[in-house]
Structure 1
Amino acid sequence: MSRLGNLGARLYRGEVGYDFVGHRKFWYGLSVLITITAIVGVVVRGLNMGIEFEGGAVFTTPKTSASVEHTTEAAEQISGHQAIVQELGSGGMRVQIAGVETDTSTEVKEKLAEELKVNSEDIDAQLVGPSWGEQIANKAWQGLGIFMVLVVIYLAIAFEWRMALAALVALIHDLTITVGVYSLVGFEVTPGTVIGLLTILGYSLYDTVVVFDGLREGSKGVTKQTKFTYSEIANRSINGTLVRSINTTVVALLPVAGLLFIGGGLLGGGMLNDIALSLFVGLAAGAYSSIFIATPLVADLKEREPQMKALRKRVLAKRAKAEEREGRDVYGDEDDGPQDAPPAGVTGQRDAEPHAASAASGQRRERPSPQRGGRGKGRPSGRRR
């Protein structure tokens, strides 16, 4: 068995582990800090919404010798709106201009072809009206809301409402962090981003449900024993699935990292960046929230129940008695205190008495061997001749 597999087995048996639930306040504070940073980034910098949501035009040019800076400046002067230009791997340019109306798109296309010294017929133009983009945005929010409601209902039925609430908090946490990273990085928000968000929410739920399932199995009949509290059982459930969570997260992040840094960074794929960034951030945030937020939050909610409070008291009382009993066994000889000094003239007598007793107890007492009838009487060995 490999070292990682051996570690996983020891974590599952509870031989080693990290106290996730015991240090939950630290991780709660860290999560709140990250979430506040993401919200501030969205408020201050905003989101770079794609034309699918705001409306506009996207012009894809053939190979040209013009630079990105020159193309950006020319597109903004021609259209009168802010332009986002990205160089493609084929040597062409992807020019995105928000706010361009359908009536003026043909004129913008022809002037852009003159500036870049390419044929206008070779430029691919995609036009999106503002009303259609607004409908796409509304549909995306509706789909996200329906997804959240269905998730909460399913978890409440399959597990319990506390686990459903904790999973919902973890999902909102993952969404907020992913959106905040998009705002800070400045990546464009497209329908591919929405697809990536829905994908990572499903992955986050998968990891959370695995831990919840182990917690449900481990907490059956929890009030009938006095060995572990509910928080300790929850912590054992996290440690039991820790190696599995790490392995699945790393395996999922490796291809996504290749898609983001190689496909999007080196090859210049526009849509690849939109999907890969949401997947990369969301997968990491989902693994983090299922371990450090969802399960500790369930333990906090369960510990408020009267039955769990009574269980904690019984467990702590039993441990206190066991420690007290162990302390008496280890230090019991020291509790008698010092002996009073014997009066003068009695020391020799007291010292002699134990020696006499030990000498008497050390003497062997010859016991006659049992005789069987009159056979062998008077013979040393008792044997017949």
Structure 2
Amino acid sequence: MALDQARKAEKRVMDASGDLPPLLGVPLAVKDLDPVAGVPTTYGSRTASAAPAPADSGTVARLRAAGALFLGKTNTPEFGSTCYTENSVAPPTRNPWNPDLSPGGSSGGSAAAVAAGLASVAHGSDGGGSLRIPASACGLVGLKPTRGRVSGGPGRADLMGLATAGPLTRTVLDAALVLDAMSGSGSGDHHAAPPPPPGGTFTACAAREPGRLRIGHYAHTGSAEIPVHPHVLAAHEEALRLLDALGHRVEEIPEPGDAHFGGTYRDDFRVLWTAMASAVPVDPAREHELEPVNRWLRERARATPVPVLMAAWGRLQQGVRSLAAATEPYDAVLSPALALPPVPIGHFTGGGPEEEFRLMNEFTPFASVHNVSGRPSVSLPLHLSPDGLPIGAMLTGRHGGEGTLLSLAAQLEQACPWSHRAPPLWHH
């Protein structure tokens, strides 16, 4: 399939008399939560149909129109429910930096494909950190756009607006280019992002100097008291020094969960996450085939009264408004992407679903608040740990502020280049 697409792309180049699509001939992998016409979509689950998808998802259709070559589907945990990429339909996805380690998730297959050089860029999605988590673990740029920037339709429900498609790439400019190709609204969308930035494209933003910015930062988890690994704290301090050296004004701010969500953030987000897990259609006769964590999440959702769900969602929305007001003076906010460096395959499993959920929270306490807020957020591979593993720095912008975020990210990449870094397997 990819070779046939490549031949057609080559013919278009040879026959072209005008502008060509921006991704023409670029090899791209698609996360196996989005349908690609003619290819089965497993959703990482044994309960999925093996029939080929009849049509592309909306995001895949836009990437196809932009000229991308689809190399294939990439592995994902069942329904994208976890922050690691292990399931019952495929072997566990391994981190190219060390195959004993996890690439994170849920876009772990896409991240591993780009980090290993199997694809130039990849499509992923992010409902609670699922682009930024594997980007941090695999040494990539992982960009979660503003809510509504990338339409999920037709074919994918918007649900509560937590999830959005986005790119996984090796450079900021590539992330901007893929975001330009992905962006667009669709009929029936629940959310709409602000208009594109001045100049019309995010690619143009990535080529501009950001000017002197005011940046808030935090690296603690407040009352959750989740330990942050010393290598992660060292990476955060290194990012602060770099921002200061570039002339930006950097100020410490409170951890959002305590400061703006009344200390109930993690409990309320868990209610939403269980509701999302329960929304995936599964034949009741096949529920026993689901992964244990998804059976557990769906059981919890069925035991949660609707008023409890609505109250949790209401408190989170109030917190988002408080967070927006408090951070409005800042052009961006810096935090770690993860609390830990990459962890071993099997780190999360074996102790039962409740223990698994606790370990996931301890691994990724920083990312999901920006899914709730809907703000754009990016993990950048600024740091390597003393043992040679990537650790991401996460920058989050204002609502609709991908342009400023990309401009700042590109400046950081120029000051601290990372594209020459590659997993050890590249050197063999």
Q: Shorter-chain TM-score: what band?
A: under 0.3
- Higher CA-based Rg: 1
TM-score for the superposition, normalised by structure 2? 0.20
TM-score for the superposition, normalised by structure 1? 0.21
Larger RCO, structure (CA 8 Å, separation 6 or more)? 1
Which protein has the bigger strand share?
Answer: 2
Which protein has the bigger helix share?
Answer: 1
